[in-house]
Amino acid sequence: MDFWRDCRRCAWVIGALIGVFLLGLGASEGQFNVIWKKAVIICLECIGIG
């Protein structure tokens, strides 16, 4: 019981580490460039034109 309670208490650390790992994977695949390219042009769909 204590084991599972402890697991849940540190779940946020595991989640944050997974987040950092996924960010690293995204960076290695060049996904930040995709995000940047989308974010620096006016998104016509977002503003209801495109």
Partner 1 sequence: MKRLRLVVQLLFTIVTNGYLYGFLNGKIYRGGLKYVCVPGLNCYSCPGAVAACPIGALQALLNQRGFQVPFAALGFFFLFGSLLGRFVCGWLCPFGLVQDLLHKIPVFNKKKRLPCHNVLKYGKYVVLILLVCTGSMFLWGGFAKIPAFCKYLCPSGTLLGALPLLSANEILRSQVGGLFLWKLGILLAIVLLSVKVYRPFCQYLCPLGAIYGWFNRFSLVQICWEAEKCVSCMACERACPVALSRKEISRSPECIRCGKCADACPEKCLHFSGKDRC
Q: Which two tokens stand for residue 10?
A: 């540190």
Half-sphere exposure of 31 (CA within 13 A, CB side): 8
Any contact of residue 1 with partner 1 (CB under 8 A)? no
Any contact of residue 19 with partner 1 (CB under 8 A)? yes
Helices (runs of H) and strands (runs of E) counted in the chain? 3, 0
Q: How many residues bind partner 1 (CB under 8 A)?
A: 39
Any contact of residue 49 with partner 1 (CB under 8 A)? yes
What residues line the site for partner 1 (CB under 8 A)? 5, 8-9, 11-16, 18-27, 29, 31-43, 45-50
